[in-house]
Amino acid sequence: MGITILEGDITRQSVDAIVNAANSSLLGGGGVDGAIHRAGGPAILDACRDLRASRYGRGLPTGQAVATTAGRLDARWVIHTVGPVYSAEEERSALLASCYRESLRVADGLGARSVAFPAVSAGVYGWPADSAARIALDTVRATATEVDDVRFVLFTDEVYAAFDRARG
């Protein structure tokens, strides 16, 4: 599997699946979640509403992942995953790692060969960038998957630099 680290806008990636750092409601929000919903259009929100009505009425649990259409994005699917809010008092690294593992599991189930990830939980959820990068890269490297092309598409210089350092 090839792993690429890029600074840029994840909504402009041409891949099979774009991973969305969603909130548990699946109904859009800020950061990358809002950007994906805006760029992909109402088809993504409609699909998320259908998921809530059929399976996730109480919301998608933290660390899990589920796929919808990608709407107008240059991708076939959006894989929504709910990252944990960072806490210095409570160890939540396993939940963050689960976001990446479960997203790859969903991608495999869809037959996706290329996936673009944001830095899950490293934005408004407050996860320190260096720790988030290390967990993301270590988890993706350790996960058996049929995905050939994994891209980390990072929106800020700080998060890009953290992933570059963690790349090793």
Indicate which CATH number applies to the domain containing 18: 3.40.220.10
d(CA 112, CA 148) in angstroms, rounded, equals 9
CA distances from 102 to 62, 83, 89, 105 (A): 11, 11, 25, 5
Sheet of 2-7, strand order: 2-7, 149-154, 114-117, 17-22, 77-82, 65-69
pLDDT at residue 19, rounded to an integer? 98
In tens, the pLDDT along 22-42 reads 999 999 999 999 999 999 999
As annotated, the active-site residues are: 33
Structure tokens that stand for 154 in this block: 């990072």
pLDDT at residue 86, rounded to an integer? 98
CA atoms within 13 A on the CB side of 148: 5
- Tally of domains in the chain: 1
Q: Residue 22 in contact with residue 67, Cβ under 8 Å?
A: no
Q: Are strands 2-7 and 17-22 parallel, antiparallel or unpaired?
A: unpaired
Range of the domain at 44: 2-167
In tens, the pLDDT along 54-67 reads 999 989 999 999 99
pTM over 0.95: yes
pLDDT at residue 168, rounded to an integer? 82
Percent above pLDDT 90 for the chain:
98
